[in-house]
């Protein structure tokens, strides 16, 4: 059988980042120290993207902190920016919030999800009781407290729809047509993607369509507008099913950003030069990280990984 | 203050584990080694039917009879959590597990009516950290400052204001001083228990504040923070000096038992196998 061919959407990280213009709203997926589309984040900084509204995940990590430190962000929508034991609070985020350099759309996890969900459903707002009685609606005037129309006197928040021009999501693998499958936890990525007008997935592996069809239940991001193939594409953060986070690299970033917060920006600039603007592309970045380190990070997830270290008897593609 | 043969983190994890009953539901929330160890310890010691969402991954985990290889997960999204998982949901779906059986307040006021209830409902227990906590149990993760400005920006409220059906929130503070234990927090990420009643939330909200020095409850009139007990090696005077609001005894004030040799052995040999809680030494 022949007929017109389907459209393939594979691009480089640089090409994907070039779709973002200054002033746009973008979403970055993942969760704390896992599953962030880092090649795109680095390319955005390399291009000097600015004036962005950035929507982080419900527990956003230092990928957002990096964008703030690099001067790309005007407004932040995220209920947390940090990296738990590595950095309880993102340093650049903290500095920019304290100086007023960035505007923060104050929220909590489900206030964020409610806004994204409203957009995904084509509604103007979603009602949510969480956040009632807190400082959040005082700090964020977009949230409107209202009394239940059911007459029980209970207060709710009207959370207006939150949308984005582009959503960037890390997945385990994807085919050339834009069907992405997560391996391991999906976090909030499906809702994040649904609220974006256009979605690009950053995939650890580019796989044939037949591979996707073996288990369509796993397809978490169907019909992405762009697919970027990027092995170790979440480095220095972890990718479920593939490799652990690079603790040493993260600590070096945290040290550079801690100096930034205290007003000494030289170390942060050196970090950007070395790891973001320096390497020509993602392959050059990985070359700099080094094979030895990358293999070590893979081995850390050996035993639970579906990658080369999948233990015998573990069901393929089931989690 | 006297040296103890256990660390304050170990004492805190054991205290939490003791409050967890078999058959309870628990979401460990954002990662700390203390809350992770507490939940894992409870499941391995006396609560094998604890329904446990471990960390932010959305994995429901049961560790009863299962080995902890390589130590406690390093972050709340450590993929190694999957090795104990028997179910999974996306993080936003957490919120469709909020509704208590029976609806409304019944679950909280008549627990006997739901004895043996086996539906997964998030959550009986939830751990909440803070940069400040106050006399009324309000918790602040937003930051220090006033009128929308920040002299110190906090990490953000995460989901602690969203979990309005929680039966028992443990507010845990990893340091105890008058800057953290204040009369009134600068900003509120989640309200104290009287706020929850006033706003007619289904759940109870904060029921405990736990610090390296001791424990407060909210069982008294007005649901204000009262001292429930001090951890072995510490004194009431020490707690009073470190607290920025007046410290009065709870009606339930009493001794907090030190870790038993059995508790410590189980914690160290089968849960915290790489001994992350021992850092910092004795209390």
ipTM at complex level: 0.96
Please list the alpha-helical segments (H only) found in A150-246: 189-194, 209-213
Identify whether the C-beta of residue B231 lies closer than 8 Å to the C-beta of residue B212: yes
d(CA B173, CA A81): 19
Tokens 């706003």 map to which residue? B199
Helices (H) and strands (E) in chain B, counts: 6, 14
Domain boundaries, chain A: 10-106+163-300
Determine whether the interchain pair B153/A98 forms a contact, defined as Cβ–Cβ distance below 8 Å.
yes
Mean pLDDT, chain B, integer: 93
Determine whether the interchain pair B164/A130 forms a contact, defined as Cβ–Cβ distance below 8 Å.
yes
Q: Which residues pair with B190 in a beta bridge?
A: B139
Query: Out of A94, A100, A136, whose CB is closest to B161?
Result: A136
Q: What is the pLDDT of residues A12-52, one digit of tens each?
A: 999 999 999 999 999 999 999 999 999 999 999 999 999 99
Flag whether B52 is in a domain: yes
Locate the chain A residue with the closest alpha carbon to B148: A139
A85 pLDDT tier (thresholds 50, 70, 90):
very high
CA angle centred on B22, ends B138 and B112, rounded to 5°: 80
Cis peptide before B4 (omega within 30 of 0): no
**Domain, as residue range, for B113:** 8-271
| Residue B2 to chain A, least CA–CA distance (Å) | 28
Does residue B246 carry a pLDDT above 60? yes
Locate the chain A residue with the closest alpha carbon to B194: A133
Does residue A307 carry a pLDDT above 70? no
Work out the average pLDDT over B248-273.
97
Q: Which of A111, A133, A257 to mutate to test the interface with B (most CBs of B within 10 A)?
A: A133
Determine whether the interchain pair A136/B158 forms a contact, defined as Cβ–Cβ distance below 8 Å.
no
Locate the chain B residue with the closest alpha carbon to A155: B199
Which pLDDT does position A27 carry in this prediction? 98
Query: Out of B31, B58, B59, whose CB is closest to A84?
Result: B31
d(CA B158, CA B56): 11
Query: Out of A31, A134, A240, whose CB is closest to B188?
Result: A134
B123 pLDDT tier (thresholds 50, 70, 90):
confident
What phi, psi does B278 have (nearest 5°)? Answer: -80, -15
Flag whether B28 is in a domain: yes
Question: If 0-12 CB within 10 Å is exposed, 13-18 middle and 19+ buried, where does residue A24 land?
Answer: middle
Work out the average pLDDT over A176-184.
96
Which pLDDT does position B114 carry in this prediction? 87
Which pLDDT does position A65 carry in this prediction? 98
Distance (Å) of CA A4 to CA A1, A7, B156: 10, 9, 50
A305 pLDDT tier (thresholds 50, 70, 90):
low
Flag whether B1 is in a domain: no
Enumerate the residues of chain B whose CB falls inside 8 A of the CB of residue A106. 142, 157
Identify whether the C-beta of residue B61 lies closer than 8 Å to the C-beta of residue B52: yes
Q: Is A128 helix (H, G, I), strand (E, B) or coil?
A: strand
Quick one: tokens of A161?
A: 């729809």
What phi, psi does A284 have (nearest 5°)? Answer: -65, -35
| Residue A191 to chain B, least CA–CA distance (Å) | 8
Which pLDDT does position B280 carry in this prediction? 53
Flag whether B153 is in a domain: yes
B116 pLDDT tier (thresholds 50, 70, 90):
confident
Determine whether the interchain pair B155/A88 forms a contact, defined as Cβ–Cβ distance below 8 Å.
yes
Locate the chain B residue with the closest alpha carbon to A35: B77
Any idea what the CATH number is for the domain that residue B31 is in? 3.40.1080.10
Determine whether the interchain pair B75/A84 forms a contact, defined as Cβ–Cβ distance below 8 Å.
yes
Q: How many domains does chain B have?
A: 1
Does residue A306 carry a pLDDT above 90? no
Query: Out of A110, A305, A319, whose CB is closest to B159?
Result: A110
d(CA B227, CA B239): 9
Work out the average pLDDT over A280-292.
98
Flag whether B279 is in a domain: no
Nearest in space to B69 (alpha carbons), one of B34, B40, B111: B40
Locate the chain A residue with the closest alpha carbon to B60: A185
Q: What is the pLDDT of residues A210-254, one digit of tens each?
A: 999 999 999 999 999 999 999 999 999 999 999 999 999 999 999
Pairs of residues, one from chain A and one from chain B, whose beta carbons lie less than 8 Å apart: 186
d(CA A45, CA A230): 17
Which pLDDT does position A11 carry in this prediction? 98
Does residue B184 carry a pLDDT above 70? yes
> Which positions ≥6 away from A2 have C-beta within 8 Å?
none
Locate the chain B residue with the closest alpha carbon to A141: B148
Enumerate the residues of chain B whose CB falls inside 8 A of the CB of residue A78. 156
Does residue A1 carry a pLDDT above 80? no
* DSSP state letter for A289: H
If one compares B52 and A1, the residue with the highest pLDDT of the two is: B52
Flag whether B277 is in a domain: no
Identify whether the C-beta of residue A91 lies closer than 8 Å to the C-beta of residue A261: yes
Q: At what angle do helices A38-47 and A62-69 cross, to 10 degrees?
A: 10
Q: What is the pLDDT of residues B196-239, one digit of tens each?
A: 999 999 999 999 999 999 999 999 999 999 999 999 999 999 99
Flag whether B283 is in a domain: no
Which pLDDT does position A311 carry in this prediction? 42
Work out the average pLDDT over A71-77.
98
Flag whether B50 is in a domain: yes
Does residue A318 carry a pLDDT above 60? no
**pTM exceeds cut of 0.90:** yes
Fold classified for A10-106+163-300: Glutaconate Coenzyme A-transferase (3.40.1080)
What phi, psi does B87 have (nearest 5°)? Answer: -155, 165
């Amino acid at each position: 059988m022949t007929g017109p061919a389907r459209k393939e959407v594979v691009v480089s990280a640089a090409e994907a980042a070039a779709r973002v213009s200054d002033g746009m709203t973008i979403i970055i997926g993942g969760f704390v120290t896992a599953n962030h589309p880092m090649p795109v984040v680095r390319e955005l900084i390399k291009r000097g993207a600015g004036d962005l509204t950035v929507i982080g995940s419900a527990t956003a990590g230092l990928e957002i902190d990096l964008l703030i430190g690099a001067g790309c962000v005007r407004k932040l929508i995220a209920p947390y920016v940090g990296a738990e034991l590595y950095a309880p609070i993102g340093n650049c985020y903290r500095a920019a919030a304290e100086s007023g350099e960035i505007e923060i759309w104050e929220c909590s996890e489900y206030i964020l999800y409610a806004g994204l969900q409203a957009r995904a459903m084509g509604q103007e707002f979603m009602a949510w009781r969480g956040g009632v009685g807190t400082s959040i609606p005082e700090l964020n005037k977009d949230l409107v407290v209202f009394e239940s129309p059911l007459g029980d006197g209970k207060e709710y928040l009207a959370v207006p729809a939150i949308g984005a021009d582009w959503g960037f999501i890390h997945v385990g693998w994807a085919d050339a047509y834009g069907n992405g499958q997560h391996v391991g936890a999906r976090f909030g990525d499906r809702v994040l993607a649904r609220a974006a007008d256009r979605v690009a997935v950053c995939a650890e592996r580019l796989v044939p369509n037949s591979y996707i069809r073996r288990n369509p239940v796993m397809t978490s991001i169907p019909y992405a507008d762009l697919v970027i193939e990027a092995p170790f594409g979440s480095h220095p953060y972890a990718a479920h099913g593939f490799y652990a986070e690079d603790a040493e690299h993260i600590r070096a970033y945290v040290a550079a950003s801690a100096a930034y917060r205290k007003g000494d920006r030289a170390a942060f600039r050196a970090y950007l030069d070395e790891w973001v603007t320096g390497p020509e592309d993602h392959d050059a970045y990985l070359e700099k990280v080094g094979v030895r380190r990358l293999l070590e990070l893979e081995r850390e997830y050996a035993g639970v990984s579906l990658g080369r270290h999948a233990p015998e008897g573990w069901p393929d593609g089931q989690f | 203050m006297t040296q103890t043969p256990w660390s304050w983190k170990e004492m805190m994890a054991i205290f939490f584990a003791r409050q967890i009953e078999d058959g309870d539901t628990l979401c460990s929330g954002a990662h700390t080694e203390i809350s992770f160890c507490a939940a894992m310890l409870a499941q391995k010691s006396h609560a094998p039917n604890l329904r446990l969402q471990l960390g932010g991954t959305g994995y429901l985990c049961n560790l009863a009879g299962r080995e902890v290889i390589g130590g406690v997960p390093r972050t709340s999204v450590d993929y190694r959590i999957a090795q104990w998982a028997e179910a999974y949901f996306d993080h936003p779906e957490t919120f469709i597990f909020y509704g208590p059986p029976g609806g409304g307040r019944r679950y909280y006021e008549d627990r006997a009516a739901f004895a043996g209830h086996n539906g997964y409902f998030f959550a009986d227990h939830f751990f909440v950290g803070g940069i400040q906590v106050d006399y009324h149990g309000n918790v602040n993760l937003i930051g220090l400052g006033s009128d929308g400005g920040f002299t110190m920006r906090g990490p953000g409220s995460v989901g602690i204001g969203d979990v309005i059906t929680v039966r028992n929130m443990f507010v845990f503070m990893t340091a105890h001083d008058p800057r953290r234990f204040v009369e009134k927090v600068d900003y509120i990420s989640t309200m104290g228990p009287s706020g929850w009643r006033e706003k007619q939330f289904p759940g109870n909200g904060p029921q405990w504040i736990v610090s390296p020095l001791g424990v407060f409850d909210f069982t008294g009139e007005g649901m204000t923070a009262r001292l429930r007990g001090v951890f072995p090696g510490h004194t009431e005077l020490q707690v009073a000096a470190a607290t920025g609001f007046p410290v009065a005894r709870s009606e339930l004030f009493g001794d907090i038992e030190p870790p038993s040799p059995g508790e410590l052995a189980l914690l160290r040999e089968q849960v915290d196998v790489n001994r992350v809680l021992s850092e910092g030494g004795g209390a």
